[in-house]
């Protein structure tokens, strides 16, 4: 008796795979500006993450929505994990 490898498996369409899925709340990150001392929330698209060879060359950056200053802050392992998990664009400055 011969049985195919896909017996009992249904074809799944994209529409059926996502049927009933609820909308996802976008991730927001709290940030502060050292220039104007403003405190605000930013979406993932407003942040950029650069991962360097050392902790001194790993940072995230954004433009302050209140004063327009370019802000660059160090990013330790936990911040890198949170930002990448939240969908922030990442640039690797070195090869692993």
Q: What is the reported pLDDT for 1?
A: 45
pTM of the model: 0.70
DSSP string, 16-75: HHSTTPPPPPPPEEEEE-TTT--EEEEEGGG-EEEE-SSGGG-EEEEE-TTT--EEEEE-
pLDDT digits 0-9 by tens, 49-84: 999 998 889 999 999 999 999 999 999 999 999 999
Q: List, for residues 7-45, the tens digit of each pLDDT value.
A: 555 677 777 776 776 666 788 999 999 999 999 999 999
Of the candidates 54, 29, 53, the one whose C-alpha atom is nearest the C-alpha of residue 42 is 29
Whether pLDDT at 48 is above 50: yes
């Amino acid at each position: 008796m011969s049985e195919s490898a896909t017996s009992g498996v249904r074809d799944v369409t994209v529409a059926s795979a996502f049927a009933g899925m609820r909308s996802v709340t976008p991730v927001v990150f709290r940030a502060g500006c050292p220039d104007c001392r403003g405190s605000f929330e930013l979406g993932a698209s407003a942040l950029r993450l650069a991962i360097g060879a050392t902790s001194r060359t790993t940072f995230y950056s954004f433009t302050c929505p209140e004063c327009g200053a370019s802000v660059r802050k160090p990013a330790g392992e936990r911040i890198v994990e949170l930002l990448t998990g939240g969908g922030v664009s990442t640039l690797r400055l070195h090869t692993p």
